[in-house]
Chains A and B, each alone.
Chain A
């Protein structure tokens, strides 16, 4: 329950972060040139964009919640579980930004949901806890 709550909150912040980063970067990269000079210019412009800052703060919040979940659950559990964020991004784009969503995207979302359901049915931790390593060494399963 704790894992589900923390991961859902993390995913929500990630989706919001992506929306703002996407908005910000689309505004920044209007020029057509490429190469190192272009990348430096993009970096400077990005640093002055409020949308990029907001997107970055949300992304950091996501990262802190994600790290917290990793303190008790498997990486191979948490990582696929957070992929539900893709579905949330597409749904948000459809309902709030009125984006047209290609049928293949809805199909892809459905496949991701099935994948997350399968992963969520496996135990969230398969390694012994740090403090319990000694006592568990003999008796764990």
Chain B
């Protein structure tokens, strides 16, 4: 029971976090410099962006749920949950971020899920 709850938390908080962080990073704009001064200015911008910070909080919840799940269950049980989050996050990217998911991108995403499921079978 605690394992199922942890896995659900890993997937939902992780997917929501990914979507919200992407929203924040797109608001900040493309990072196209490697100069330390400019990177520092960008970092300050990123870490004061509400979407980014909200996403960071969700990812933190997901991360602790992940290591907690790993401490009570086998990786081969927890890993398929990660594969599920690929599909959920992609749906979130389409609905919330308005990304266009072509058939080829869907096919690739589904193959990735299948591959991860195959890995966790062994």
> What residues of chain A have their CB less than 8 Å away from a CB belonging to chain B?
2, 21-22, 25, 28-29, 34-35, 39, 42, 46, 59, 63, 67-68, 70-72, 74-77, 79-80, 83, 86, 90, 102-105, 107-122, 126-127, 129-131
A-chain residues with CB within 8 Å of residue B104 when the two chains form the complex: 118-119, 121-122
What sequence of 0s and 1s flags, for each residue 22-59 of chain B, a beta carbon within 8 Å of any chain A beta carbon? 10011111111000000000000010000010000001
B interface, CB within 8 angstroms of A:
2, 18-19, 21-22, 25-32, 46, 52, 59, 63, 67-68, 70-72, 75, 86, 89-90, 92-94, 97-102, 104-105, 107-122
| Among candidates B52, B72, B99, B118, residue contacting A74 with C-beta atoms closer than 8 Å | B99
Q: Are A71 and B116 CB-contacts (below 8 A) given A114-B111, A122-B102, A126-B100?
A: no
Q: List 22 A-B contacts (CB under 8 A).
A: A35-B2, A39-B71, A63-B59, A67-B21, A68-B31, A72-B31, A72-B32, A76-B93, A79-B93, A80-B90, A83-B86, A108-B120, A111-B115, A112-B111, A114-B115, A115-B110, A119-B109, A122-B102, A122-B104, A122-B108, A127-B99, A130-B26
**B114 close to A76 (CB less than 8 A):** no
Contacting residues, chain A, for B94 (C-beta < 8 A): 76
CA distance A137 to B89 in the complex (A): 26
Closest Cβ of chain A: how far from B60's Cβ, in Å? 10
Q: Which residue of chain B is the closest to A74 with respect to CB atoms?
A: B99
CB within 8 Å for A127 and B109 given contacts A28-B71, A102-B122, A112-B116: no
Q: What residues of A have a CB within 8 angstroms of the CB of B28 in the complex?
A: 71
Q: Which residues of B contact A2 (CB under 8 A)?
A: 32
Contact A25 B67 (CB under 8 A): yes
* Residues on the A chain within 8 Å of B101, using CB: 76
Cβ of B105 and Cβ of A130 under 8 Å apart? no
Q: Is the CB–CB distance between B99 and A104 below 8 Å? A: no
Q: Are A67 and B52 in contact (CB under 8 A)?
A: yes
Q: Taking the nearest CB of chain A, how far is it from the CB of B81, in angstroms? A: 14
Assess the A77–B115 pair: CB atoms within 8 A. Answer: no
Task: Evaluate contact between B105 and A29: CB separation under 8 angstroms.
Answer: no
A111 in contact with B99 given A75-B18, A77-B105 (CB within 8 Å)? no
Closest 4 CB pairs of A and B: A115-B111, A108-B118, A118-B108, A112-B115
